[in-house]
Amino acid sequence: MAYTVRMADPFLPWDQYGKPARTRQPLSREAIVDAAMKIIDEQGLSALSMRAVAQALDTGPASLYAHVANKEQLIDLVLDRVYGEIEVPEIDPARWQEQLKDFTRSGLKVILSHRGLSAAMLGGPPMGPNGLRLMEASVGLAHAAGLSEAHAAFMGELVGQYIAVNALEQETFRERFGAASEDEVSEWVDQFRGYLQSLPPERFPTLVALARSGALMSPNTEEERFEMGLDILVRGLASYIESRN
Amino acid sequence: MAYTVRMADPFLPWDQYGKPARTRQPLSREAIVDAAMKIIDEQGLSALSMRAVAQALDTGPASLYAHVANKEQLIDLVLDRVYGEIEVPEIDPARWQEQLKDFTRSGLKVILSHRGLSAAMLGGPPMGPNGLRLMEASVGLAHAAGLSEAHAAFMGELVGQYIAVNALEQETFRERFGAASEDEVSEWVDQFRGYLQSLPPERFPTLVALARSGALMSPNTEEERFEMGLDILVRGLASYIESRN
DNA sequence: ACCTGAACACCGTTCAAGT
DNA sequence: ACCTGAACACCGTTCAAGT
As a whole number of angstroms, the distance between CA B96 and CA B137 comes to: 11
As a whole number of angstroms, the distance between CA B31 and CA A101 comes to: 48
All residues of chain A having their beta carbon less than 8 Å from the beta carbon of residue B176 are 124
Question: Where on strand D do bases come within 7 A of a protein Cβ?
Answer: 2-7, 10-16
Provide, rounded to the nearest whole percent, the portion of chain A with pLDDT above 90: 75
| pLDDT for the residue A141 | 96
For residue A162, what is the enclosing H or E element?
Answer: helix A149-177
- Predicted confidence (pLDDT) per residue in A53-106, tens digit: 999 999 999 999 999 999 999 999 999 999 999 999 999 999 999 999 999 999
All residues of chain A having their beta carbon less than 8 Å from the beta carbon of residue B151 are 218-219, 228
Amino acid residing at A15: D
As a whole number of angstroms, the distance between CA B8 and CA B21 comes to: 8
Range B218-222, long-range pairs (CB < 8 A, 24+ positions): B218/A148, B218/A150, B218/A151, B218/A153, B218/A154, B219/A151, B219/A154, B222/B170, B222/B173
Beta carbons within 8 Å of B220's beta carbon, 6+ residues apart: none
Amino acid residing at A103: F
| pLDDT for the residue A24 | 63
| pLDDT for the residue B218 | 67
As a whole number of angstroms, the distance between CA A183 and CA B39 comes to: 41
Looking at residue B61, the DSSP 8-state letter turns out to be: G
Looking at residue B69, the DSSP 8-state letter turns out to be: S
Rg (Cα) of chain A, in Å, rounded? 25
All residues of chain A having their beta carbon less than 8 Å from the beta carbon of residue B150 are 210, 213, 215-218
- Predicted confidence (pLDDT) per residue in A193-217, tens digit: 999 999 999 999 999 999 998 777 6
The answer to whether the Cβ–Cβ distance between B210 and A139 falls below 8 Å is yes
* Residue A90 Cα, gap to closest chain B Cα (Å): 11
Whether A13 shows a pLDDT value over 60: the answer reads: no
Whether B165 shows a pLDDT value over 70: the answer reads: yes
The pTM of this model reads 0.89
Beta carbons within 8 Å of A215's beta carbon, 6+ residues apart: B150
| pLDDT for the residue B24 | 63
As a whole number of angstroms, the distance between CA A157 and CA A152 comes to: 9
Whether B5 shows a pLDDT value over 50: the answer reads: no
Whether B240 shows a pLDDT value over 50: the answer reads: yes
| pLDDT for the residue A214 | 75
Whether A39 shows a pLDDT value over 80: the answer reads: yes
The answer to whether the Cβ–Cβ distance between B172 and A136 falls below 8 Å is no
The answer to whether the Cβ–Cβ distance between A154 and B205 falls below 8 Å is no
Taking all residues of chain B, what is their mean pLDDT, rounded to a whole number?
Answer: 88
pLDDT band at A179 (very low <50, low <70, confident <90, very high): low
Whether B7 shows a pLDDT value over 90: the answer reads: no
Buried b (16+ CB within 10 A) or exposed e, A202-229: eebbbbbbbbeeeebbbbeeeeebbebb
Taking all residues of chain A, what is their mean pLDDT, rounded to a whole number?
Answer: 88
Asked whether the beta carbons of A133 and A83 are under 8 A apart, the reply is: yes
| pLDDT for the residue B140 | 96
For residue A71, what is the enclosing H or E element?
Answer: helix A71-83
Neighbours of A174 (CB within 10 A): 14
Mind spelling out the 3-state secondary structure of B172-209? HHHHHHCCCCHHHHHHHHHHHHHHHHCCCCCCCHHHHH
What does the angle CA A19 – CA A22 – CA A26 come to, to the nearest 5 degrees? 95
Between B178 and B45, where is the model more confident?
B45
Whether A158 shows a pLDDT value over 80: the answer reads: yes
Compute the average pLDDT of residues B183-193.
Answer: 83
- Predicted confidence (pLDDT) per residue in A133-142, tens digit: 999 999 999 9
Neighbours of A188 (CB within 10 A): 13
Q: In Å, how far are A80, A85, A103, B46, B128 from A162, measured between CA atoms?
A: 18, 18, 12, 25, 25
What does the angle CA A114 – CA A117 – CA A120 come to, to the nearest 5 degrees? 160
Asked whether the beta carbons of A131 and A156 are under 8 A apart, the reply is: no
- Predicted confidence (pLDDT) per residue in B74-121, tens digit: 999 999 999 999 999 999 999 999 999 999 999 999 999 999 999 999
CB under 7 Å from strand D: A 26-27, 59-63, 65-67; B 48-52, 61-62, 65, 70-72
As a whole number of angstroms, the distance between CA B24 and CA B41 comes to: 23
| pLDDT for the residue B10 | 37
Q: Is A233 on the interface with B (CB under 8 A)?
A: yes
Nearest nucleotide by C1' position to the A48 CA atom: C11
Q: In Å, how far are A170, A175, B27, B44 from A39, measured between CA atoms?
A: 20, 17, 41, 29
